[in-house]
Chain A
Amino acid sequence: MKLTKIILTTLLLMVWVLSVPANASLEIDITRGHLDPTPLAIPNFSGSTDPERLIGEQIASVIRDDLERSGLFKILDPASYIEHQRNIDLKPKFAEWRVINSDALLAGRVVIENENRIRVDVRLWDVFAETHLFGQQMGTTPENWRRIAHKIADAIYQKLTGESGYFDTRVVFIAESGPKINRVKRLAIMDQDGANPTFLTPGSYTVLTPRFSPTAQQITYLSYSTMVPSVFLFNIETGRQEVLGDFPGMTFAPRFSPDGKKVIMSLVQDGNSDIWVMDLRTRRRVRLTSASAIDTSPSFSPDGSKIVFNSDRGGSPQLYIMNADGSNIHRISFNRGRYSAPVWSPRGDLIAFTQQNKGRFHIGVMRPDGTAERILTTAYLDEGPTWSPNGRVLMFTRETRPGGGPRVYSIDLTGSNLRRVETPGDSSDPAWSPLIE
């Protein structure tokens, strides 16, 4: 093991001499399942006063948790660290970090500039190549320290995997409580790691299936607060709620277009559900399907040119794709079972779905042409996947066993790293936000 590392390091140093950028040494391939996560050392961030050191401890702790949960990293126990750096601007003693087998070291410092502003400096070091991978300085208000931590975690993820991270994000979901025959369902929002959970609706009426706007601080969801259940818009900044359009019937299954300018949804007329799209500015609505079959759960491709949806036009619920104008409808799911709740990956390469087969529910993915289907999960009930903004992780609703309340879970696209997401009580219908600007 040690020898391999030394050989690797030597090789990498040689490569470096051959004028390749210094950061080429530590690279993580996230397309594979990781049985062997990369070891990282993240000491508490330094500070020259107690309040600075306290924030430094908290920030380091949130970064450790973010990276550990990704399954790609193993954060080494801070108690094992030999070197206790005083000044992060000096090169660390790499040998002392190699002894504890850390591949990389993140060092940070907190400065409270005044009561409204903190400054955080970080440096990421490649311990074996003895190189500086990146340095960054960030400033914010003291109570916003968690976002600094998530942004640093995103920067490390990006530096080491080559892809953008997903830690500085939020999740909107349905918080559930009460007995099954009289369930209270409230719209709720939290940070991706479960921190700062907040209820957005009072619980006196049922809300379902919230979805984040890809471009604005806006949510669309189904609400039973009106006589006819309808698709609503919720502005997160103002708290304002409004019915979307005056459709002649129940609307449900809403989702934003990738440019955030339209909402696509189902409308029920005479018991039949068809797919419509509404322009948010003009409020003009266009009908896209008109079959005497269930057409629902529409989801745009990231380039906005196509729509995947759920239909039982072939006799059982299956996945179909059409052009954004409703033309060229064709089926893409052909394996055993019932398919529903499709969601197009933000990378465009895959569609996640719910599959029901032999009394079990699964989350799976397939290519938009229906090939390369992979089932990632199985449980009494798994449903409603949502993609992380980088298209590497899925969250979904799970009931592990009959009668057990639903909870939000996450799994990597590789099928590894299944985790329960921290929520205040029972929870369902998660929807991931884009990366916060």
Chain B
Amino acid sequence: MKTKLLCLAAAFAVSACASDPQTTQVSTPTAHPVQSPTSSRVTSVETHTTEPVYVARPGSIEEFSTNAGDRVYFAYDSYTLSAEARATLSKQAAWLNSYPRTRILVAGNCDERGTREYNLALGARRSNSVKQYLVNLGVDPSRVTTISYGKERPIDPRSVGAAWSINRNAHTAIVSGASS
């Protein structure tokens, strides 16, 4: 009990409390090496001024992901593009056609409810579905590279249906030509 109180006090004093790594993370923006339990070193507070809210710069990666959307989702064991996915890809194609110097990498991803090699093949189909759709909307195929990660790159770590839905996706990354 006493230790807990001490920890709490330490947290308020913005010092690194070894038994509570969360506290350490709050007090500084960067990760800390773990300190020994006896340490009572006070960690300094870094202050940064928050930028005012701004609109993503046209032609930037941020603008692409905000305005077009950089991920489309698939049903289980499917590489068919849903109406929602097609709407997203139409916006991606429009953006890519506006910025013809950009190049993209489309990565196909799967949920964890399949075996490794089958999922690598399924992910390849998903990234290719996206590529073909974009090409049909006028994007030069030489600007589009595809890759499959199978089930190796989940974005939601949970093992529940909602996470699997999110992890069945194709992600479009601008790899070059975007304004910064």
Nearest-neighbour CB distance to chain B for A394, whole angstroms, equals 15
On whether A252 and B117 interact (CB within 8 A), knowing A181-B155, A402-B159, the answer reads yes
With an 8 A cutoff between CB atoms, is B37 at the interface? no
Nearest-neighbour CB distance to chain A for B88, whole angstroms, equals 19
Report whether A229 and B117 are in contact in the complex, using a CB–CB cutoff of 8 Å: no
Q: A250-B120, A250-B148, A297-B118 are in contact. List 8 more A-B contacts (CB 8 A).
A: A208-B116, A253-B120, A268-B124, A273-B120, A317-B118, A340-B115, A354-B115, A356-B113
Alpha-carbon separation in the docked complex, A394 to B93 (Å): 49
A-B contact pairs, 14 of them (CB 8 A): A179-B157, A222-B120, A250-B147, A253-B120, A266-B117, A271-B128, A294-B121, A341-B117, A341-B118, A381-B112, A384-B115, A402-B159, A403-B157, A403-B158
- By Cβ-Cβ distance, the 8 closest A-B pairs, closest first, are A271-B128, A402-B159, A180-B157, A273-B121, A294-B121, A340-B115, A253-B117, A268-B124
Within 8 A of B (CB), among A304-331: 310, 312, 316-317
With an 8 A cutoff between CB atoms, is B129 at the interface? yes
In the complex, which of the residues A185, A310, A403 contacts B118, with contact meaning CB atoms closer than 8 Å?
A310
Report whether B120 and A356 are in contact in the complex, using a CB–CB cutoff of 8 Å: no
Size of the chain B interface, CB-CB below 8 angstroms: 34
Report whether A383 and B125 are in contact in the complex, using a CB–CB cutoff of 8 Å: no
With an 8 A cutoff between CB atoms, is A423 at the interface? no
Report whether A266 and B121 are in contact in the complex, using a CB–CB cutoff of 8 Å: yes
On whether A271 and B125 interact (CB within 8 A), knowing A181-B154, A252-B120, the answer reads yes
Interface residue SS majority, chain A: strand
With an 8 A cutoff between CB atoms, is B24 at the interface? no
On whether A270 and B116 interact (CB within 8 A), knowing A179-B157, A229-B147, A229-B148, the answer reads no
With an 8 A cutoff between CB atoms, is B122 at the interface? yes
Within 8 A of B (CB), among A209-237: 209, 222, 227-229
Residues of B at the A interface (CB closer than 8 Å) are 77, 79, 112-118, 120-122, 124-129, 131-132, 145-148, 150, 152-160
Residues of A at the B interface (CB closer than 8 Å) are 179-181, 183, 185, 206, 208-209, 222, 227-229, 250, 252-253, 266, 268, 270-273, 294-297, 310, 312, 316-317, 338, 340-341, 354, 356, 359, 361, 380-381, 383-384, 402-403, 429
Interface residue SS majority, chain B: mixed
Alpha-carbon separation in the docked complex, A56 to B126 (Å): 58
Report whether B116 and A181 are in contact in the complex, using a CB–CB cutoff of 8 Å: no
A222: nearest chain-B partner, CB-CB: B120
Report whether A356 and B116 are in contact in the complex, using a CB–CB cutoff of 8 Å: no
Report whether A271 and B127 are in contact in the complex, using a CB–CB cutoff of 8 Å: yes
Enumerate chain A residues within 8 angstroms of B112, measured Cβ to Cβ. Answer: 381
Alpha-carbon separation in the docked complex, A296 to B118 (Å): 7
Enumerate chain A residues within 8 angstroms of B132, measured Cβ to Cβ. Answer: 271
Alpha-carbon separation in the docked complex, A341 to B118 (Å): 8
Report whether A356 and B124 are in contact in the complex, using a CB–CB cutoff of 8 Å: no
Nearest-neighbour CB distance to chain B for A230, whole angstroms, equals 11
Report whether A383 and B116 are in contact in the complex, using a CB–CB cutoff of 8 Å: yes
Enumerate chain B residues within 8 angstroms of A270, measured Cβ to Cβ. Answer: 128
Report whether A403 and B128 are in contact in the complex, using a CB–CB cutoff of 8 Å: no
Nearest-neighbour CB distance to chain B for A49, whole angstroms, equals 44
Enumerate chain A residues within 8 angstroms of B126, measured Cβ to Cβ. Answer: 271
Enumerate chain A residues within 8 angstroms of B79, measured Cβ to Cβ. Answer: 271
Enumerate chain A residues within 8 angstroms of B122, measured Cβ to Cβ. Answer: 294
Most buried by B among A183, A273, A383: A273
Most buried by B among A227, A296, A316, A341: A296
Enumerate chain A residues within 8 angstroms of B150, measured Cβ to Cβ. Answer: 208
Report whether A356 and B147 are in contact in the complex, using a CB–CB cutoff of 8 Å: no
In the complex, which of the residues B117, B131, B145 contacts A340, with contact meaning CB atoms closer than 8 Å?
B117
Nearest-neighbour CB distance to chain A for B121, whole angstroms, equals 4
On whether A294 and B118 interact (CB within 8 A), knowing A183-B152, A271-B146, the answer reads yes
Nearest-neighbour CB distance to chain A for B47, whole angstroms, equals 29
Report whether A180 and B115 are in contact in the complex, using a CB–CB cutoff of 8 Å: no
On whether A296 and B147 interact (CB within 8 A), knowing A180-B157, A403-B158, the answer reads no
Report whether A208 and B152 are in contact in the complex, using a CB–CB cutoff of 8 Å: yes
Enumerate chain A residues within 8 angstroms of B117, measured Cβ to Cβ. Answer: 209, 252-253, 266, 296-297, 310, 340-341
Nearest-neighbour CB distance to chain A for B168, whole angstroms, equals 15
Most buried by A among B112, B118, B122: B118
Report whether A268 and B148 are in contact in the complex, using a CB–CB cutoff of 8 Å: yes
Nearest-neighbour CB distance to chain B for A436, whole angstroms, equals 27
A317: nearest chain-B partner, CB-CB: B118
Report whether A273 and B157 are in contact in the complex, using a CB–CB cutoff of 8 Å: no
